[in-house]
Amino acid sequence: MKSNITWHDASVGIEHYRKKNNHHSGVIWLTGLSGSGKSSIANRVNQRLFERGVQAFLLDGDNVRHGLNKDLTFTPEDREENIRRIGEVAKLFAEGGTIILTAFISPYQADRDQVRHILSTGDFVEVHVDCPIDECEKRDPKGLYKKARKGEIKGFTGVDAPYEKPDSPEIVLHSDRYDEEECARQLVSFLESKGWI
């Protein structure tokens, strides 16, 4: 079946979009434990970029599982497929000149690396939202840690499933030391320093 598929090259490409938008495009991948603040930080960064006229879009883990990935569970295999699909969608957005912010636990380094490798060099920023698990459990915004500790949820990252901290992220945000606004400021400042915006 795949032999009958041919990639269609568009006459308007990534460099055209970047020139029109007057900024870089790519994928900003926020990873961290549940409750670390990934979604909140990504949302604040997206708001800041929007206010500056930057073409940006936020893909949030829970939101994507309501639609595109609603057929997937939380087994290691389905988590891998979840990240693979998101990576491919994010790549398409980036090729259209958009800065994509993603907020996913994405617990496995190999899955995050797979997304990095489908993008051009320099178009993937891995952001580790670093927060100790005891602090994440105190926050427990969705009550998931409590359910996992009671055995009501199986395979929960940080409880009975692993979380592999990034090997060498482009930036680490310590969300236990700084509030969401400051973490967002640090990430925007990083993007400025790299010439993305």
pLDDT digit string (tens) for 7-21? Answer: 667 778 899 999 999
CATH assignment of the domain containing 137:
3.40.50.300
Residue recorded with tokens 């009975």: 160
Give me the domain span that covers residue 180: 18-193
Query: Residue 88: pLDDT above 80?
Result: yes
> What pLDDT does residue 8 have?
65
Write down the mean pLDDT value for the chain. Answer: 92
- Is 151 annotated in a binding site? The answer is no
- What 8-state DSSP symbol labels residue 161? B
Q: Is residue 150 part of a domain?
A: yes
- Is 35 annotated in a binding site? The answer is yes
- Is 39 annotated in a binding site? The answer is yes
- Is 34 annotated in a binding site? The answer is yes
- Is 146 annotated in a binding site? The answer is no
Q: Is residue 12 part of a domain?
A: no
Backbone phi and psi for residue 29, each to the nearest 5 degrees, phi listed first: -105, 105
- What 8-state DSSP symbol labels residue 8? P
- Report pLDDT digits (tens) over 42-85: 999 999 999 999 999 999 877 788 888 889 988 889 888 989 99
Closest CA to 136 of 175, 110, 171, 93: 175
> What pLDDT does residue 55 have?
97
CA 61, CA 78: separation in Å to the nearest integer? 13
The Cα-based distances of 87 to 8, 100, 181, 184 in angstroms read 19, 10, 26, 22
Catalytic residues: 106
Q: Is residue 10 part of a domain?
A: no
Regarding pTM above 0.85, the answer is yes
The Cα-based distances of 154 to 71, 125, 147 in angstroms read 18, 30, 9
- Is 38 annotated in a binding site? The answer is yes
| Number of domains forming the structure of the chain | 1
Q: What percent of the chain has pLDDT over 70?
A: 96
- Report pLDDT digits (tens) over 97-107: 999 999 999 99
- Counts of helices then strands in the chain (DSSP H, E): 8, 5
Dihedral, 104, 46, 192, 121 alpha carbons, nearest 10 = 40
- Report pLDDT digits (tens) over 121-170: 999 999 999 999 999 999 988 899 999 999 999 989 999 999 999 999 99
Q: Is residue 2 part of a domain?
A: no
